[in-house]
Amino acid sequence: MSDKEDRIARLSQRFKTHTGGRPKNDQKSRERQSLYLDANLIERVDKTYKEIGHQLYPIEVSKSLFLETILEYGLENITVIKTRLSELTETSESSS
């Protein structure tokens, strides 16, 4: 093999999947999601997150933990959420 071909072969090794090393974790505890949410709602979330951060100081709470806690609370109180969704749906249908 020429020097050029050898160099290309070594460089291409970066793009091949590794067979050794750490096993891949099939179950991810976190993953990135893209959601399109109401801008005013996100503004409220940001403001509330900052206010709670000041209230809980010196405890530091990450924004992801803050959002996960809100989502978990909502899931634990799903009957209230269902009622709220029904009310919002009825309101939007009557205004149409």
Question: pLDDT digit string (tens) for 65-89?
Answer: 999 999 999 999 999 999 999 998 8
- Please give the model's pTM, rounded to 2 decimal places: 0.60
| Rounded Cα distance, 66 and 53, in Å | 10
| Rounded Cα distance, 78 and 86, in Å | 12
Q: What tokens were used for 75?
A: 């899931």
pLDDT at 22: 59
**Mutual angle of helices 63-76 and 78-94, in 10-degree steps:** 90
Backbone angles phi, psi at 71, to 5 degrees: -65, -45
- In this prediction, residue 94 has a pLDDT band, given cuts at 50, 70 and 90, of confident
